[in-house]
Amino acid sequence: MEPLDKTPWRFIFPGVGQVVDSDSLQDALRQAPHILVTSYAQPDVVLRDVGGLEAEGQMPPTNYIANYADKLLLISASQKPEGDSLRITLRWYCTAPVTQETSVFVHLYDSENRLAAQADGYPLLNMARMVSWRPGDMWRDIRFLALPEDETSGRYILKIGLYPIAGGPRLSAFSPTGERFVDDAVPITTLELPLDPRERNEH
């Protein structure tokens, strides 16, 4: 019997299907409540849920975390460890048309307010443009924040905000009681790093 060839296999993943532009993609995203994206990062090929449109034509929620420029409400935010990353789930409500291209920022700061990690970009893994959202829309946005490999032990804080792609100040962020958040960055939770190894293995 010939010895088993232990050379690492290489795979080719051809892309098959219709090519769509960004505007057409926005229409397609509205048709599916769950958007799945394949990650080909080694060592595993992973299929990830990155969010989707939950509902249309909804009344504004009475409970929310932050109001951004009277255009978007952050309804909820949650996070859980997933390997060497944090899986962060944000739920948004659109109150008025967003008139300029806008990005979400997710920033992790250490105890001295230094930026330790970030996960910026359009919702749904950079596929959903907020300018295409309609008043009454409710969206779920799942993103993954890679934890720093050389993090100093201690407490970290996670903050969420919005900024225009073209430049300029961040969108103003206010609490439900009308207080403006410092730097228009909304604190969501605090973390103790490094995470317990048992937490890192949760999926």
For 90-131, what is each residue's pLDDT tens digit? 999 999 999 999 999 999 999 999 999 999 999 999 999 999
| 8: preceding bond cis by omega (within 30 degrees) | no
Q: What is the mean pLDDT of residues 192-197?
A: 76
Taking residues 146-169, what's their average pLDDT? 91
29 or 15, greater pLDDT: 29
CA 77-165-138 angle, to 5 degrees, is: 35
- pLDDT tens figures, 170-183: 999 999 999 999 99
User: What's the CATH code, domain 22-200?
Assistant: 2.60.40.10
Say if strands 102-109 and 115-118 run parallel, antiparallel, or are unpaired: antiparallel
Nearest partner of 90 among 64, 118, 71, judged by Cα: 64
Average pLDDT over residues 145-173: 92
Q: What is the pLDDT of residue 47?
A: 86
Residue type, 69: A
Measured at the CA of 50, the angle between CA 124 and CA 157, to 5 degrees, comes to 85
Distance of CA 147 to the CA centre of its chain: 14
pLDDT > 50? residue 203 = no
